[in-house]
Structure formats: structure tokens, C-alpha cells
Homo-oligomer: A and B are copies of this chain.
């Protein structure tokens, strides 16, 4: 019963202060249902990834609320929160619902409305993904956390600010041709290096923006797809998920992300493939350093060599392993609870041969989604229909 993706859609990621979460989610869902013969009433379950609805919109209970808004009032409905890995975790629960036999037709979506709040409030809300006792109360928020990781990585492996900037340049430039991306402006290495410092060694263009948006995928069981003669867009070949200490101080090392290593190992085993089989990748580049750490954790580069991907053009759209052809979190944007689903929407387009930054002969795709500074990580491996 390998789950099949029959439809996938996203709103544009951007600041949408005029739209509530229920409006954004409905917009993505309506678009998804236009592309399949399944209707919302067919849904057995609706899974919603959302991180900060309680804090920004005074709205919890998003599972039932959004199931109703997409026309599936009677479906089993659940909100999943694993910080910025909420989307990836949501998809994995939807996959398990199908694989367990509990559901045949499932919507897995994410939504986040961040821009209606002022930036201090958003920073406070994001900090709920860190350890409140040992990090937040000491004044350490995410730019600072990732700056510590970047600084240590630069020290251990002789990496430079230019190495980090190369990731930002690649991803921003990929975003230019993606109509769903928040930023559509080319950047040079100098543009990045000259942007204002946010937490040394990180500068503004090392960081993803505040974004609103929604993404959904509709999944069905293999049997349901056959019985209803559905057009399949992509297949879920395997998933993996692992955790780590939430507080950076509790990790054995801060230049590796072991939860990602374990999630990747589990997903490769589940899909019965190796890293060499992967054709196109979306990783969680909330900061430039995060993409470099991801490439190493996923087995694409040895430790200390992940910088080579962007610097040498190996992770460019026409490189040997295209990474973040969507623009990534840096260029496409990062509505936090949505991102893991949005990555799968982008990769589904790659596997269908319909991506604006299409990679040649993409047959196997991988998404890597992180919560906090690495405490929650999901890896999803997709194959073409």
C-alpha cells in the first residue's frame, strides 16, 4: 500500500496580511482539487501542519477547522506540530494513516500566517521551537543559535563567509523563475556579504524571511488509485524521522545534525535506495549553514565538504545534484509549519517534468525538513509515477 500523490498545490509564499490561515489553506486546497477527480468529500482524513496559529491568530484546533473549510467536515482531522518540521511530520503521519489501512484518501497540508503580527511577536513565537528554559530565557533565539553552529563549522573546516553566501546566491537565483517564491531578485555574493549583520557571522541574506502561505498534497492508497483509475503524480518511496536534544548545549557536537543522519538512513532503507540514486533535493535552508549541514547529513558530502556544493556549482540546477531548485527557504520563503509539505509540492512537479527549474530525468527526489536547530528532522523520498 505505497501511498500515491494525486495532486499537490501551494499558494505563493509571501506576506499575505490580508489572508487568514483558513483562507490560505482553502486557496491551496481548491487548487489541488481542481487537478484531480477526487473531491473533498472523499477524504478519510485531513492532517494540518501548523506551528503558530495559537500565538498569532488565537486559533488552535486547526485540524477540524480546516477540514471543514476544505469541504471534509466529517474526516478524521488532526493538527501536527513539530516546530518548523511540522510539514514533514504531517506528511509522514498521513503516509502512516494510509499504510496502516485506517485511510484510503488523505489530505496532508500546512498553513502559516506570520505577517499579521509584528516582528518581535513573530521572533518570540519562533522561539517556542527552542528550549524555553535553557535557550530562550538566556536570550538565545534562532539567528543566534545558527550563528553558533556556523561559527564553529567555519572554525573546524576553514569555511568562509563566501562559502555561506554561495548557498544564498544559488537559492535566491533559483527563486527568480519560481512564481510561487517570495523573492524574485538575483543576488551576487557581494550583495549577500554586504547585507546587514543579524548574528555574526550570519548576515541578512544568510537567513530566510518571514512568510505566509499554505501547501497541500492529496494522497491515496495504491489500491484506491487503481480502483478509481486516478492519474498519479508521484509515489512515496520511503520516509524517516528522528529527534535530538532541543537545546544546542545538550548536543555532542554542533557541526553535525545526527537526527538528520538517522532520518535519512531510515528513509533510504525504507525506499531501498542509496544517496547516489537521488536526482533532485529540497533541504531545509532556514540559514545558509543549514543547507551545508544537511548535504553532509544526507550522505551527499563528507563532513566539512558540504560547502563545495554551491561554491563549485554541483548543487546548481544543471549540477550533478540539484538542491533547492524551488529557491529553498532562503528564496522561496518559509511559512514555518508549511515548508515540509511545500518541498513535496515542488518535488512532485520535478517528478512530473513540470517544474519551472526542471531538472533533466528526475526520477527520485528527496525532501529534508528540520524543526528547531535540528531536534526534529523528517526525510521523505519520492519517486515518479
A interface, CB within 8 angstroms of B: 20, 45-46, 51-52, 54-55, 57-65, 67-68, 72-83, 89, 92-93, 95-102, 124-125, 127-133, 136, 239, 241-246, 250, 258-259, 262, 371-372, 375-376
Contacts and interface: CB of A to CB of B under 8 A. Distances in A.
Contacts of A132: 57-59
A82 B97 CA distance: 16
Nearest to A240: B76
Nearest to A57: B132
Contacts of A52: 54, 60
A54 B57 contact: no
A52 B259 CA distance: 26
A375 B64 contact: yes
6 contacts: A63-B89, A64-B376, A65-B375, A75-B242, A79-B82, A96-B102
Contact of A76 (B55, B97, B242): B242
Given A81-B81, A82-B78, A246 B65 contact: yes
A77 B93 CA distance: 11
Contacts of A96: 93, 96-97, 100, 102
Listed residue (A67, A239, A372) with the most chain B CB atoms within 10 angstroms of its CB: A67
Contact of A63 (B46, B55, B124, B243): B243
A243 B75 contact: yes
Contacts of A72: 243
B68 A83 contact: no
A99 to B, nearest CB: 4
A246 B60 CA distance: 11
A57 B128 CA distance: 9
Contacts of A375: 61, 64-65, 68
Contact of A243 (B64, B83, B244): B64
Contacts of A133: 20
Nearest to A242: B74
A93 B246 CA distance: 23
Nearest to A95: B100
B244 A64 contact: yes
Contacts of A67: 243
A64 B99 contact: no
A132 to B, nearest CB: 5
B131 A65 contact: yes
Listed residue (A54, A136, A244) with the most chain B CB atoms within 10 angstroms of its CB: A54
B58 A128 contact: yes
Contacts of A93: 78, 93, 96
